[in-house]
Amino acid sequence: MRKVSALPPRRGEDRRSWLSGAPPPRWVRVLPPTLVVAICAATLISHDPLDIGFLLGAIPPLAVLSYSPLATALLGGVVVALLNIPAFQLDRPGDTDLLTVVFVAGLSVFVSFVRSRRDAQLGLERTVAEAAQHAVVPPLPERVGAVRCAGLYRAAQRGTLVGGDFFDVRDGPFGVRVVTGDVQGHGLSAVSTVASLLGAFREAVLDQPDLASVAGRLDRRLLVDSADARHAELFATAALLEFSADALEVRVVVCGNPPPLLLRGARATELEVSPWTPLGLGLADAGTIEACTVSLRPGDRLFLASDGVVEARDSDGAFYPLADRLTAFAEEDPAVLPDRVWADLVRFCPDVDDDVTMLVLTPSPPEPV
């Protein structure tokens, strides 16, 4: 299975800073032993005593940032030993100085123990959170039925994998169906609404005979959830697609979401669809929603993007020209196209502050056996 790229620009990169819970960078771990070697080398090379022994007192506190309690204790022992080796002539510390260093080293070991326990607990909680978030937005398969899939998901809230955007691609008795959209709000506060919508979509894929009925099911789900909401009415924008069995035809319903773009050769054009109101307003009557039917050719690709892409602005207030940019990337492999667009988007608008979703769907009927 091909995982959706969730982090820019390299997959698997931790977006947290090391001061916010991510593992410390390499230089933080290298600093304590490097400082020890530098001090020893300086004192041995110099012909005169150097008053730099005080620098050794900083080594145990620095070790706390990245070393285990045992390693911190060993570095503290090294510091005390170096202060007592006459060859280094490090300030000739008195008993009070040595006791101070020993106390700081012991305190550093205790702090390292507390930090290690907290890191282990945070790591466990993050693992559980990632498992829960992946259950809401699972990895995107490389192929679903007769459709090849590639995508990118970036949550606006740092340190999270999901936010207010949602997507899914499912095969069912009525063909391959796709949903992508954006719920009210973003970040962790929107995750419960996303989970509710995706659950309704996955059920509707199996038992609703047409795409308009799927949209109606999602609308009803939000209405039910809104009845329990204390402060605000829930709503979501969405685009739904349904591919025929041979993937040479696609039906599209757009409910307040940016319409899909059709990449045909070197051209990128927005599909002409009849827009409908956002989901959750109680207006999605399956009898009035109109699905647009589009014929597809071999080599065509459908590009779906959330409003975090199309509404991104540069420093002059200009919107990101998605269709023009896609034309420039028309020759790219569909599997890497979302990453290319993302890299271009952050150059255009470095401070993207909304959830971003991109999906590339390529009709690719399996070869006859």
Q: Is the pLDDT of residue 1 over 50?
A: no
Q: Say what the pLDDT of residue 226 is.
A: 79
Contacts of residue 2, Cβ cutoff 8 Å, sequence gap at least 6: 139, 140, 141, 142, 149, 150, 335
Handedness of CA 226, 231, 233, 239 (dihedral sign): negative
User: pLDDT, tens digit, for every residue of 251-288?
Assistant: 999 998 999 999 998 899 999 888 888 888 877 665 67
User: pLDDT, tens digit, for every residue of 151-182?
Assistant: 998 877 666 666 778 899 999 999 999 999 98
User: pLDDT, tens digit, for every residue of 282-331?
Assistant: 776 656 778 889 999 988 999 999 988 988 998 888 999 999 999 989 88
Cα 347 to Cα 312, 313, 341, 350, 351, distances in angstroms: 11, 11, 10, 6, 9
Rounded distance between C-alpha atoms, residue 128 and residue 355, angstroms = 22
pLDDT (mean) for 127-140: 73
The residue to which tokens 């065509």 are assigned: 300
pLDDT (mean) for 32-36: 89
Percent of the chain as helix, strand, coil, to the nearest 5: 40, 20, 40
In contact, 156 and 308? CB cutoff 8 Å: yes
- Token pair, residue 197, equals 């919508």
User: pLDDT, tens digit, for every residue of 229-248?
Assistant: 665 667 889 999 999 988 89
Q: Say what the pLDDT of residue 8 is.
A: 39
Angle between helices 69-83 and 26-45 (to 10 degrees): 10
- Collapsed DSSP state (helix, strand, coil) of residue 4: coil
Percentage of the chain exceeding pLDDT 90: 34
pLDDT (mean) for 13-22: 56
Average pLDDT score, the chain: 83
DSSP 176: E
Rounded distance between C-alpha atoms, residue 359 and residue 180, angstroms = 8
- Global pTM reads 0.70
Pick the closest to residue 274 from 287, 260, 255 (CA basis).
255
Q: Give 86's pLDDT tier (boundaries 50, 70, 90).
A: confident
Output the furthest CA–CA distance in the chain (Å, rounded): 93
Give the 3-state secondary structure of 241-295.
EEECCCCCEEEEEEEECCCCEEEECCEEEECCCCEECCECCCCCCCCCCCCEEEE
